[in-house]
Amino acid sequence: MSARTRIEWTDATWNPIRGCTRVSEGCRNCYAERVAARFSGYGQPYAGLAVMTSAGPRWTGSVVAIEEHLDDPMRWRKPRRVFVNSMSDLFHDDVPDDLLDLLFSTMSVCNIHTFQVLTKRPQRMCDYLRAPERAKRIENSSYGLPTGWPIPNVWIGVSGCATISARPNGRSGLKILPTVCRLAGRFRTSGSASASKINRQRTSEFHCYLRPQRRCDSSPSSR
């Protein structure tokens, strides 16, 4: 957890989960993997979760919940934008649904904050959010679902991969790898980030935050 951050589009980070694995070409230059490898020595926060190899930093594939940080937002009295799992992916396959229910319940009860969830696993995100009785399961977890469903103070985002290469005529071409997932209900783009510089043969990232405009309906008629 960090009450402060240099990330310009958020005010704080909350990392209740540590560890990850590469899932796309966009993970090649992952800053979280680099930071984790730096602090992966004995007794350090990412011991056993990342290593420094001859090819550079690598995740080990282990993903763990950090019990002492599961309720961090409850101790923050000043409203803030919170980047959830800046050092991992909330929708990693090894994060169980029960833990996700607990974390979304925490975000609901801490409704003075705005939570920003960014993932490179849109299919898992869709499967989780659109599962039958998801709202009921979250409501039955530790803190309930006081805000109702969808949770209005949670922004869901997808991080994609943009492969940039030089065309024969000298102009750069941009190819966006598809990571679009249509959630139930309607969403609008509320923020974005793009690379400030485009270099030859460079891979960068784009982010798209999605914010619900009305209640979600998982029935087939809404899809």
Q: How confident is the model at residue 5 (pLDDT cuts 50, 70, 90)?
A: confident
Answer for the pair 117, 81: CB distance below 8 angstroms, yes or no: no
Decide if pLDDT at 189 tops 90.
Answer: no
The reported pLDDT for the residue numbered 211 is 43
Asked if 49 and 105 count as a contact pair (C-beta separation under 8 A), the reply is no
188-205: average pLDDT: 32
Residue 118: per-residue pLDDT: 87
- Residue 184 confidence (pLDDT) above 50: no
Q: What is the predicted pLDDT for the residue at 157?
A: 82
Residue 176's CB is within 10 A of a number of other CB atoms, namely 11
On the question of pLDDT at 192 being above 60, the answer is: no
Quote the longest CA-to-CA distance of the chain: 59
More confident: 219 or 33: 33
Confidence of residue 21 (pLDDT cuts 50, 70, 90): very high
What is the average pLDDT score of the chain?
76
Q: How does residue 161 score in pLDDT terms, banded at 50, 70 and 90?
A: low
One-letter-per-residue 3-state SS of the chain: CECCCCCCCCCEEECCEEECCCCCHHHCCCHHHHHHHHCCCCCCCCCCCEEEECCEEEECCCCEECHHHCCHHHHCCCCCEEEECCCECCCCCCCCHHHHHHHHHHHHHCCCCEEEEEECCHHHHHHHHCCCCHHHHHHCCCCCCCCCCCCCCEEEEEEEEEEEEECCCCCEEEEECCCCCCCCCCEEEEEEECCCCCCCCEEEEEEEEEEECCCCCCCHHHC
Give the model's pLDDT for residue 92.
96
Mean pLDDT computed over 57-64: 95
Pairing relation of β-strands 81-84 and 114-119?
A: parallel
Model confidence at 204: pLDDT above 70 = no
- Size (the chain), residues: 223
CA distance 187 to 124: 18
Q: In this predicted structure, what is the pLDDT of residue 160?
A: 62
Give the residue with greater pLDDT, 143 vs 159. 143
Task: Please name which of 23, 24, 20, 25 lies closest in space to residue 35, comparing C-alpha atoms.
Answer: 20
Question: Does the pLDDT of residue 71 top 50, yes or no?
Answer: yes
Whether 66 shows a pLDDT value over 50: the answer reads yes
Rg of the chain (C-alpha set): 18
Q: What is the pLDDT of residues 85-139, one digit of tens each?
A: 999 999 999 999 999 999 999 999 999 999 999 888 988 998 999 899 999 999 9
Q: Taking Cα atoms as reference points, which of 111, 201, 119, 187 lies closest to residue 151?
A: 111
